[in-house]
């Protein structure tokens, strides 16, 4: 029997026989995870943290974040607190649909005019086939095409309703391609698959009083850092990584495809012909104004969202049904909060001091010590501003000697 055909317990047993030490896992959790992907043998856990008070469009939210890096949740909370002092974030989503691509080979008999005339009927027929999506507010919206080098390129816009929509869009594209290959002059299908192009976008904007960021000088430094991030690729990519720290953490917590968003962000950051910052900060009317636009191909239903108890737990913090558009606005606002906090740190004390203070928790967590000892060692690391494993071990030995 092949490895993928084994039960997860059998796979674990086989690995144990080879000397591989697997962490214990609850049998029910193992069974649930086995339904999601192939060759399941265990799990990787992430801490679930919360942003306490993120105000978006006048409403306050608890926001779940799943990430292992200590500074990210703290930074998001700091940024959200500054935003709250200034009335919160204003955000808007443009969620018309996601694009799919169909590419077909054509010959001399193909007539573009004839296909143009048939597009309305193709849309109607496809939507009838996928009537359930129509009932939820989605469906095939438009078909555009062009011909180049005997290839027919179709750009198909599908509204996925409240789902991310990848699977449904691919099903629609496959169905539509079967109809198209029957048309005159079309020889064969090359491919039919969705595109992760950033078609669905969300913009978040804040206007901050200088006092909330420590004064005009700090605000001007942040604006200058933003300008540099638009002109210098080395600063831009690190700036955008800081944004994605917060964005990915919420995407993971809510069961959304962070890989798709990351890929689309690369396109959005390069839309002017060079890689630039995704965010912009500037001085406007005696305020520091920040703006961030991100691709938000996300969902609140579908995929593994309903099947995973941990994801349902994360959604419970939103206290009721939340739309995909609103979730996108919350996620983009978190990205802006993390971005502000990072830039404020760079503009003032430097980012490393605060980061290492939080990173010290990871250093202490790996010690073979009691919880009380770990707390005392952590205080010593912060006091001496030394965060290495060697120094932590030295402090632990010293502490134990003093207790004798």
Q: Tell me the average pLDDT across 328-354.
A: 87
Confidence of residue 272 (pLDDT cuts 50, 70, 90): very high
Q: Tell me the average pLDDT across 164-182.
A: 94
Helix, coil or strand: residue 182: coil
**Which residues, including other chains, have CB under 8 Å from residue 21's CB and lie 6 or more apart?**
none
Q: Is 69 a catalytic residue?
A: yes
Q: Could you tell me how many residues make up the chain? A: 404
pLDDT top residue among 360 and 144: 144
pLDDT in tens, 282-298: 999 999 999 999 999 99
pLDDT at 356: 59
pLDDT at 303 over 90: no
Q: Tell me the average pLDDT across 21-43.
A: 93
pLDDT at 389: 82
Distance CA 228, CA 255 (A): 34
Quick one: fold of 48-94+200-348? 3.90.770
What's the half-sphere exposure (Cβ side, CA atoms, 13 Å) at 160? 30
Q: Is 309 a catalytic residue?
A: no
pLDDT in tens, 216-271: 999 999 999 999 999 999 999 999 999 999 999 999 999 999 999 999 999 999 99
Q: Is 355 a catalytic residue?
A: yes
pLDDT in tens, 122-164: 999 999 999 999 999 999 999 999 999 999 999 999 999 999 9
By the 8 A CB rule, do 339 and 241 touch? Answer: no
pLDDT at 386 over 90: no
Domain boundaries of the chain, sorted by first residue? 3-34, 48-94+200-348, 98-194, 355-403
Confidence of residue 350 (pLDDT cuts 50, 70, 90): low
pLDDT at 365: 75
CATH number for the domain formed by residue range(s) 98-194: 3.30.70.420
70-84, 121-135, 345-359: which range is least confident on average? 345-359
Of the residues 9, 183, 257, 262, only one is catalytic, namely 257
pTM: 0.85
pLDDT at 354: 52
pLDDT at 362 over 90: no
Q: Tell me the average pLDDT across 51-58.
A: 97
Of the residues 9, 69, 209, 373, only one is catalytic, namely 69
Q: What percent of the residues of the chain are helix, what percent strand, and what percent coil, each to the nearest 5?
A: 50, 20, 30
Q: Give 128's DSSP letter.
A: H
pLDDT at 181 over 90: yes
Of the residues 78, 168, 355, 374, only one is catalytic, namely 355
pLDDT in tens, 197-214: 999 999 999 999 999 999
Distance CA 121, CA 103 (A): 19
Mean pLDDT of the residues in the chain = 92
Burial class (CB in 10 A: 0-12, 13-18, 19+), 363: buried
Q: Give 23's DSSP letter.
A: P
pLDDT at 104: 97
129, 133, 137, 139: CA torsion to nearest 10: -50
105, 106, 111, 116: CA torsion to nearest 10: 0
pLDDT at 321: 85
Of the residues 31, 241, 379, 398, only one is catalytic, namely 241
């Amino acid at each position: 029997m092949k490895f993928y055909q084994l039960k997860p317990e059998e796979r674990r047993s086989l690995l144990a026989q080879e000397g591989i030490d697997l962490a214990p896992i609850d049998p029910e959790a193992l069974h649930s995870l086995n339904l999601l992907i192939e060759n399941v043998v265990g799990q990787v856990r992430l801490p679930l943290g919360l942003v306490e008070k993120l105000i978006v469009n006048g409403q306050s939210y608890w926001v779940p974040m799943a990430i292992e890096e200590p500074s990210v949740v703290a930074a998001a909370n700091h940024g959200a607190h500054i935003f709250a002092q200034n009335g919160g974030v204003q955000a808007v989503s443009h969620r018309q649909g996601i694009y799919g691509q169909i590419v077909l080979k054509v010959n001399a008999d193909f007539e573009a005019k004839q296909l143009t005339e048939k597009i309305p009927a193709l849309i109607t027929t496809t939507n009838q086939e996928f009537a359930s999506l129509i009932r939820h507010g989605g469906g095939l919206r438009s078909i555009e095409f062009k011909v180049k080098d005997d290839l027919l390129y179709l750009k198909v816009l599908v509204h996925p309703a409240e789902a991310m929509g990848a699977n449904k869009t691919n099903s629609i594209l496959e169905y539509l391609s079967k109809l198209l290959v029957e048309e005159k002059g079309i020889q064969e299908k090359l491919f039919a698959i969705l595109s992760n192009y950033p078609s669905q976008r969300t913009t978040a904007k804040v206007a901050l009083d200088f006092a909330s960021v420590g004064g005009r000088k700090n605000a001007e430094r942040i604006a200058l850092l933003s300008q540099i991030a638009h002109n210098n690729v080395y600063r831009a990519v690190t700036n955008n990584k800081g944004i994605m720290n917060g964005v990915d953490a919420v995407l993971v917590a809510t069961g959304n495809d962070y890989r798709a968003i990351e890929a689309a962000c690369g396109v959005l950051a390069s839309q002017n012909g060079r890689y630039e910052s995704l965010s912009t900060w500037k001085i406007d009317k005696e305020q520091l104004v920040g703006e961030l636009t991100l691709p938000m191909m996300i969902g609140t239903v579908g995929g593994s969202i309903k099947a995973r108890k941990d994801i349902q737990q994360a959604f419970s913090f939103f206290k009721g049904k939340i739309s995909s558009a609103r979730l996108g606005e919350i996620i983009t606002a978190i990205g802006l909060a993390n971005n502000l906090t990072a830039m404020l740190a760079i503009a003032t004390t430097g980012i490393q001091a605060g980061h290492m203070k939080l990173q010290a928790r990871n250093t202490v967590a790996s010690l073979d010590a009691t919880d009380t000892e770990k707390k005392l060692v952590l205080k010593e690391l912060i006091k001496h501003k030394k965060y290495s494993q060697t120094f932590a071990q030295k402090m632990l030995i010293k502490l134990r000697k003093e207790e004798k």
